[in-house]
Structure formats: C-alpha cells, structure tokens
Structure 1
Amino acid sequence: MKTRKVALSLVFMAMFSSLIYAETADEEIARLKKENELLELQQKNANLKNNKNKNQSVQSSNVDKSGFLGFCKGEYANTGCFIGAEVGYAPSVKNYFFADYSGTSITQNTYALPINLILGWQVYSAKNWGWNFKAFFGYAGYSSDIKTTDNFPTLKFSSSALHYGIEASYLYDFIISQQHTFGMNVGIGGYEFGTFIGQSVDIGGVVMESLDSYTKTSFISSIGVHYFLNVNHQFWLTYKYKSGYNVGDGGNQNVNGTQLKYSTTPNNVLTFAYAYKF
C-alpha cells in the first residue's frame, strides 16, 4: 500500500512537471517567434531605406546633362539656367544740382522706369528651397524739371544711367506641384554699378555743355515673391534697396570757372520680372 502511494506521487509529479515544461516551451516558442518577426520587420525597413537611397542616387546620376545648356540641369525640376527681362518702378529718385556761383543747391524728386536684361543659374538643394544667381544689364532715364523761383526760369536736369551687376537670392517655396510653384525670395547679396551718362542742364532753353559721366556702386538687398508655371515660366515681384546712391555724391565738374556738382539717387525700386528657365 505504501509502495502504491509512492508510485502515484511520482506519477503526479511527473505529469505536473510535464505540464510546466510544456507551458514553458510554448512561451519560449512564442517569444522566439516574436523576435523573428521583429527582426524581419527591421530588415524590411533597412531594405526599404537602402532601396530609397539607391533610387535617389540613381535618379541623381541619371540626370540627362546632354544637349544645349545641359550643364545647368540638376536633380530637382526647378534647377536650371534662365534668361528674361525685368522692369521696375523707382518712385522716389532725387536729382541734385549745385553751382558754386550762386551758392545754392537744388533738389527735385522724380521717378523712373528702369528695364534690365537678366540671365543666370538657379539650383535647388531640396524640393522646396534653393538658390538663384543672376547677372543683369539695363537702362533707366532720370530727367526732371526743377522749378526754382518765379524770377528764375525752369531748370531741366537730364540724366540717364546704365545699371549692371550681380545678385544672389535664397528661395523658399510654400506651394509645390507639377504645374505650380509659389514661394518667397530673399536677397542674400547683390552688387550694382551705375554709370550715369548724357547729363546736361537746360536753363530757360539754354543748354549748358554736357556734363561728365560718372560711376557709382551700390550694395543691393531685396525681398519678394515668385511664381513658376510648369517649371519653365517664372514670374518675380521684388522690392530692392540700393545703399550706394547719395544726394550730392556724384559728378563734380568745373565749367568756365563755375564748379558744378550733380547726382541722381535711385535707391528704392519695385521690380517685376519674367524669365524662361531651360
């Protein structure tokens, strides 16, 4: 009898141990299965990342740079060379004239409508931002009639200028689609030469001999917006400030013993530009 009890106890212990082992084995199998699934998921993510980087690298290396201006092209569609025209409105130009025989100076406000030819290169470092580098060359007329006093005839000061230089701008786009791009542009640096030519003074119909030309330089800062249609057609609206033109800081010439000073100050201009990007 005692032997039977011992045997039964051993049987029950064996069954209990088997159950515990089976439960422990099932848990271990489930844990290993989860670990395998996690490893497979991590491997898939790594493969997707590698394939994405590989595709981007292939896309970048497969940019067709053959043909006319092929060197301008880049990874992003808004990258390329461009050429266009720019017209502006300068609302507060000051014409200054001084003659030492009278000891008085005359300043008259006028406006101008400058026009420039522009060309350059635009490169995007990402889909929604990039850089624009351009050169420009243009012309503007700054003539004005200066009424002094009732006893003195109207004085007409004629002035024209050739403006040429370079600009660099940072571009950031808010709206990007296959057909439309809209964003803002901020000038990060610009430098302009203004060569003022064809200057003369008409006093009551009597024209003084032509005055000497002179050249001034100016730094340019700017801010504006831009819109691209189908990538190639680009429209720009930009406000520019030029810091180098100052009243009285221009030409200085002696005419028949009279010392003349004269200057023109096109400091502020609002421009509208169209460019075609290749």
Structure 2
Amino acid sequence: MKTRKLALSLAFMAMFSSLTYAETADEEIARLKKENELLELQQKNANLKNNKGKNESVQSSNVDKSGFLGFCRGEYANTGCFIGAEVGYASGVKNYLFVDGVDGSYSSTQNTYALPINLILGWQVYSAKNWGWNFKAFFGYAGYGSDLKIEENSGYNDKFNSSALHYGIEASYLYDFIVSQQHTFGMNVGIGYEFGTFIGQSVDIGGVNVSLDSYTKTSFISSIGVHYFLNVNHQFWLTYKYKSGYNVGDGGSMNIEGTQVKYSSTPNNVLTFAYAYKF
C-alpha cells in the first residue's frame, strides 16, 4: 500500500514538474522572440538613418555645378548667384554749408531728399530649407541738391549742388516663414559697409558758381526688411537701412582765396526696393 502511494506521489510530482517546465520554456521562448523583434526594429531604424544620410549625401553631391555660374548652385533651390537693381527713397538728408571769410561767417542747413539707384550682385546660400545668408556688393548714384538760404535778408536762395557715388558690401541673414515650390516669403536683417564719394560739389552764392572739392566718407549699415521670391528666380526686397557714418559738418573743406568753406551731405536713412534675378 505504501509502495503504491509513493508511486502515485512520484507520478504527480513528475507531471507537475513537466507542466512547470513547459510553462517556463514557453515564457522563455516568448521573451526571446520579443528581444529578437526589438533587435530587428532597432536594426531597421539604424538602416533607415544610414540610408537617409547616404541619400542626402548623394543628393548634395549630385548638384549640377557645370556650365556658367555652376559654382553658385547648392543643395537648396534658393541658393545661387544673382544680379539686379535697387532704388531708394532717402528722406531727411541734410545739406550743410559753412563759410568763414573776411566779411564774417555764416552757415546754413537745408533738409532735402534723394532717389538713389544701385546695381547689385552677389551670392545667396541656404543652409536649410527656410534660412540662409545673402552676400552682395553694390554700386550706385544719388543726387543731393538743395536750395540753401545763406542770409535771411538776402532776398534769394543759394543753390547747393551735391551728388555721390555709393559703393560697398552687405551681408544679410534670411529667415523664411512661407516656403513652397513657387512662393517664398520671409524677413531679413543685415549689416554692411559703404563708401560715399561726393562729387560735383558746387554752390551758387549771389549768382556766382563756386566749385568745391570732392570728398569720400565711410559708413556702417544696419538693415531690416522683408523679401519675396517668385518661382525661386525672381526676388523682391523691401528694406530699411540706417547709415551711421554721415554727420552734419563732417564732409569736405577747402580754402577759397582766404575764405574757409566747409560742406557736407548726410544720407543717413533710406528705404529701398530691389529686384534681383537668381541664376
């Protein structure tokens, strides 16, 4: 009887152990299967990243830089060289004249305006789809003539003639809010450096024309504005520029038969509209 009970106990223990082992084996197989699926997913993600990097590298290396101005092209469509024209409205220009002679000294300051026009050319490079840099050089002309009332009781106004060649460089940061295949719209801020060579200086005093010497001044430029690109190639810019280097009384100076004459023009603020074609 005891032997029979012992045999039954051993049989139940063997059956229980077998069931426990089966459950443990199934759990282990399920765990290994999950780990394998996780490893496969990680490997798939790694392959996707590698393929993306290779595709971007291939795309960048496949940019066609052959032909005229091919060196200008880059990965993004808004990258390229450009040429265009810029017209502006310079308000609040001050023309200044100071005369110190044997009959005494007098000075006059007259507000005027100018419509400068520039030729622009340069290179634009985008480091991402919606932001980049614009580098340009410019060369242009502006006239700053005005009537100066030298003496309050003279009964006539004297004419001060002034014009200038403006040339320099500018660099602007571009950030685009709207980017599509046909339309790009954003804002830009920039800095620059300008030379102003004032030429054709003369003054009519009492009907007598006196030619004045030319002079050159330099100025830093700070700017802010907006831009719009149509079909990538046609670019329109509206920009406000402040020039810090032109000051009243800080211009040309010469001695005319014992009479000391000082003169200057101050085109410090200008609102410009520009069009450029990007190659």
What is aligned with 2:19?
19
- The residue type paired with residue 55 of structure 2 is N
Shifted more, 98-107 versus 227-236: the winner is 98-107
The one-character-per-residue Cα deviations of 1:68-126 (angstroms, maximum 9, x if unpaired) are 10010011111000000000111110000000023221000001110000000011111
Matches within 5 A, 1:218-229: 218-229=219-230
What is aligned with 1:43?
43
Structure 1: runs of 5 or more not aligned: none
Q: Secondary structure at the match of 1:100?
A: strand
1:80/1:121 contact within 8 Å kept: yes
CA distance in 2, matches of 1:258, 1:251: 14
Matches within 5 A, 1:94-133: 94-101=94-101, 102-133=104-135
CA shift at 1:151, angstroms?
Answer: 3.1
1:182/1:227 contact within 8 Å kept: yes
Q: Secondary structure at the match of 1:208?
A: strand
List structure 1 segments (4+ residues) > 6 angstroms apart after TM superposition: none
Q: What is the alpha-carbon root mean square deviation over aligned residues?
A: 1.0
- The residue type paired with residue 129 of structure 1 is W
Q: How many residues align?
A: 276
Q: Secondary structure at the match of 1:161?
A: strand
What is aligned with 2:7?
7
CA distance in 2, matches of 1:248, 1:100: 13
What is aligned with 2:205?
203
1:153/1:203 contact within 8 Å kept: no
Q: Secondary structure at the match of 1:247?
A: coil
CA shift at 1:140, angstroms?
Answer: 0.3
The structure 2 residue matched to 1:185, chosen from 166, 183, 188, is: 188
Q: Secondary structure at the match of 1:178?
A: coil
What is aligned with 1:55?
55
CA distance in 1, matches of 2:64, 2:124: 17
The one-character-per-residue Cα deviations of 1:195-228 (angstroms, maximum 9, x if unpaired) are 0011111234x13221111010111111111111
What is aligned with 1:153?
156
2:92/2:269 contact within 8 Å kept: yes
Q: Secondary structure at the match of 2:211?
A: coil
What is aligned with 1:74?
74
Structure 2: runs of 5 or more not aligned: none
CA distance in 2, matches of 1:273, 1:239: 11
2:169/2:193 contact within 8 Å kept: yes
- The residue type paired with residue 156 of structure 2 is P
CA distance in 1, matches of 2:230, 2:40: 45
CA distance in 1, matches of 2:105, 2:26: 108
- The residue type paired with residue 272 of structure 2 is T
- The residue type paired with residue 232 of structure 1 is N
Asked whether 1:244 is paired with 2:245, we answer: yes
What is aligned with 2:178?
175
2:204/2:210 contact within 8 Å kept: no
Q: Secondary structure at the match of 2:210?
A: coil
1:162/1:196 contact within 8 Å kept: yes
CA shift at 1:127, angstroms?
Answer: 1.1
Instruction: Using structure 1 for the length normalisation, give the TM-score.
Output: 0.97
CA distance in 2, matches of 1:208, 1:135: 36
CA distance in 1, matches of 2:42, 2:226: 44
CA distance in 1, matches of 2:239, 2:21: 79
- The residue type paired with residue 140 of structure 1 is A
Asked whether 1:276 is paired with 2:244, we answer: no
CA shift at 1:152, angstroms?
Answer: 4.2
CA distance in 2, matches of 1:63, 1:80: 12
Q: Secondary structure at the match of 2:76?
A: coil
- The residue type paired with residue 16 of structure 1 is F
The one-character-per-residue Cα deviations of 1:130-167 (angstroms, maximum 9, x if unpaired) are 11110000000000112341334211111000000111
- The residue type paired with residue 223 of structure 2 is S
Instruction: Using structure 2 for the length normalisation, give the TM-score.
Output: 0.97
CA shift at 1:129, angstroms?
Answer: 1.1
CA distance in 1, matches of 2:213, 2:262: 10
CA distance in 1, matches of 2:129, 2:160: 50
